[in-house]
């Protein structure tokens, strides 16, 4: 898909993120908006998932380790025709299939139940090992938050992935620089990511997480790397696309009111 069409889809994804969080009066807009370009690119230009094969293991899979970005995953799966668009506004509302954090048993396209930070990358390593045992060529993608990498389990998983030569695994760090308590560098400072992952035995690629050309090149390069997993470190802007949310930590896990929702939708060219 060309970048212009992708840009349109990513924008629609952002509009739906704002609408879902606003309607639910809760959720995590900041980190959903920061990774919107990455996940849109993955689902439309990298992974081979379709509405038809979503219910099978015979395809690439995606683990949203930063499970609080669930509105992003749901909005992208809706664009793929896997989640009905009319269900998006049930997000977080009693009896919904769109739980606050993703539940893999609700939709075939949700590949792992996540939400408790630090655990998704381990599951992605397990999926990678399974694909190797099965001898298939399917790839596993895993989106990890920058703040999430403060969890020790991320580094346990990083060690295991390198040890078992998980070259069918590609992690993406959504480096938006903010977490609930403020700037990640002020809270605990997990950077640098590239040399850390390299020291753990990974191939690393630094990109601008909002630049499709750079993402395309990085995902293509990751596919060629043999004998080790790849980590794409994507610099992003938290709240990207919504003027008052950009680079403001406070919008990590807060819903805009009606007035601000209107401003956000106007920013995105929605209604």
Binding residues for another protein (CB under 8 A):
57, 63, 103-105, 111-113, 115-116, 118-131, 133-134, 152-153, 156-157, 159-160, 163-164
Give the nearer residue to another protein in terms of CB position, either 32 or 122. 122
Give the nearer residue to another protein in terms of CB position, either 17 or 124. 124
Kindly state the helix (H) or strand (E) to which residue 171 belongs, with its residue range.
strand 169-175
> CB of 208: closest distance to another protein in angstroms?
29
Residue among 5, 15, 65 at smallest CA distance from 36: 15
| Angle, alpha carbons 4-53-167 (nearest 5°) | 75
> β-strands 169-175, 178-179: how paired?
unpaired
> CB of 157: closest distance to another protein in angstroms?
5
> CB of 83: closest distance to another protein in angstroms?
18
> CB of 217: closest distance to another protein in angstroms?
28
Give the nearer residue to another protein in terms of CB position, either 54 or 242. 54
Whether the ω angle into residue 192 lies within 30 degrees of 0, i.e. cis, is yes
Residue among 39, 47, 62, 45 at smallest CA distance from 4: 45
Rounded distance, CA 34 to CA 72, Å? 9
Cα→Cα distances 91→120, 154, 195, 204, Å: 21, 28, 38, 35
> CB of 230: closest distance to another protein in angstroms?
17
> CB of 57: closest distance to another protein in angstroms?
6
Give the nearer residue to another protein in terms of CB position, either 63 or 207. 63
**Residue 149 · residue 174 · CB < 8 Å:** no
> CB of 144: closest distance to another protein in angstroms?
13
Other residues' Cβ atoms within 10 Å of the Cβ of residue 259: 8
Give the nearer residue to another protein in terms of CB position, either 118 or 239. 118
| Angle, alpha carbons 214-156-67 (nearest 5°) | 60
**Residue 77 · residue 50 · CB < 8 Å:** no
Give the nearer residue to another protein in terms of CB position, either 67 or 241. 67
Give the nearer residue to another protein in terms of CB position, either 47 or 63. 63
């Amino acid at each position: 898909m060309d970048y212009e069409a992708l840009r349109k889809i990513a924008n629609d994804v952002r509009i739906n993120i704002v609408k879902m969080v606003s309607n639910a009066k809760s959720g995590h807009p900041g980190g959903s908006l920061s990774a919107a370009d990455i996940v849109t690119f993955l689902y439309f230009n990298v992974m081979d998932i379709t509405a038809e094969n979503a219910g099978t293991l015979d395809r690439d899979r995606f683990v949203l380790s930063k499970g609080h970005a669930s509105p992003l995953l749901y909005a992208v799966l809706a664009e793929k025709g896997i989640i009905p668009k009319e269900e998006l506004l049930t997000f977080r509302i009693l009896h919904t299939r769109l739980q606050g954090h993703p539940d893999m048993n609700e939709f075939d396209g949700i590949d792992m139940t996540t939400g408790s930070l630090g655990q998704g990358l381990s599951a992605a390593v397990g999926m990678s090992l399974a694909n190797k045992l099965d001898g298939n060529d399917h790839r596993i993608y895993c989106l990890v938050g920058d703040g999430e990498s403060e969890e020790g389990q991320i580094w346990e998983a990083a060690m295991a992935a390198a040890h078992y030569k998980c070259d069918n695994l590609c992690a993406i760090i959504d480096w938006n620089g903010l977490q609930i308590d403020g700037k990640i560098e002020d809270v605990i400072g997990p950077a640098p990511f590239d040399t850390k992952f390299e020291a753990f035995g990974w191939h690393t690629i630094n990109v601008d997480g909002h630049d499709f050309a750079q993402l395309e090149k990085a995902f293509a390069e990751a596919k060629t790397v043999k004998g080790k997993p790849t980590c794409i470190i994507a610099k992003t802007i938290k709240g990207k696309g919504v003027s008052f949310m950009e680079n403001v930590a406070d919008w990590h896990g807060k819903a805009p009111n009606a007035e601000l929702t209107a401003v956000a939708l106007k920013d995105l060219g929605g209604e």
